Amino acid sequence: MKLQLPPGSFQAYLFDCDGTIADSMPLHFLTWRKALSEWNCEFTEDLFYAWGGMSVAEIITTLNKERGLSMPVADVSSRKEQLYFENLPQLKAVPEVMEHIEASQGRIPFAVVSGSTRDSVMASLQALKILDRFDTLVCAGDYQKSKPDPEPFLIAAERLGVAPEGCLVFEDSDMGIQAATAAGMASIKILQPWQRTH
């Protein structure tokens, strides 16, 4: 196994989706850039990765606030989702994470905890043919406060009936790691595509 887990015996694995299970961050960035360019809004790759873990609506709202724009949040959100779905056939899994999903399948429960919409998460997992491996999905709309708040991870632990300290979180974003730590959970950081050696 390429990915070394922290020591301890865990009763559940909680996975972020984009950039953790699905190597979807490059696809998401392209679709963000296209959707926002239609509103003459520049979006850099650095900012995209820095804001990893924020929900789609939060990103648009924050850009509006910071840039003095008035992009319609619902319209831009659905346009971004539509562009992402069109690109889904190109989606691949993150191999190091898939190894652990395969190895622990059926032994302990799995949850996906994501800042993306349920439709987007389900579409990604279906494209990778692994949707049926997860006991629960906690997505945007299932919680009040998004990462770095611990709420999304705590909801997942509660749904799985596992204490927070019994959960191991797989995350690619700093906000996600902060959320896991705040929830009292162990975590492992998944490297971004350009940091991984194939």
- List pLDDT tens digits, range 111-170: 999 999 999 999 999 999 999 999 999 999 999 999 999 999 999 999 999 999 999 999
Predicted local distance difference test score (pLDDT) of residue 1: 66
Q: State yes or no: cis peptide before 164, omega within 30 of 0.
A: no
**Stretch among 40-44, 50-54, 82-86, 177-181 having the lowest mean pLDDT:** 50-54
Does pLDDT of 194 surpass 80? no
Asked if pLDDT for residue 197 goes beyond 60, the answer is no
Question: Residue 191 has what pLDDT?
Answer: 86
Encoded tokens for 40: 């003459």
Per the DSSP assignment, residues forming a β-bridge with 93 are 22
Angle ∠(67,42,19) on CA atoms, nearest 5: 110
Place of tokens 């190091």: 96
Q: pLDDT above 90 covers what percent of the chain?
A: 87
Whether 198 shows a pLDDT value over 70: the answer reads no
pLDDT tens string 1-12: 688 899 989 999
| CA 75 remoteness from chain centre | 22
Over its C-alpha atoms, the chain yields an Rg (Å, rounded) of 16
Percent of the chain with pLDDT over 70: 97
- Distance (Å, rounded) from C-alpha 128 to C-alpha 70? 36
What structural domains does the chain harbor? 12-23+92-195 (3.40.50.1000), 25-89 (1.10.150)
Q: What is the pTM of this model?
A: 0.89
User: Rounded mean pLDDT of the chain?
Assistant: 94
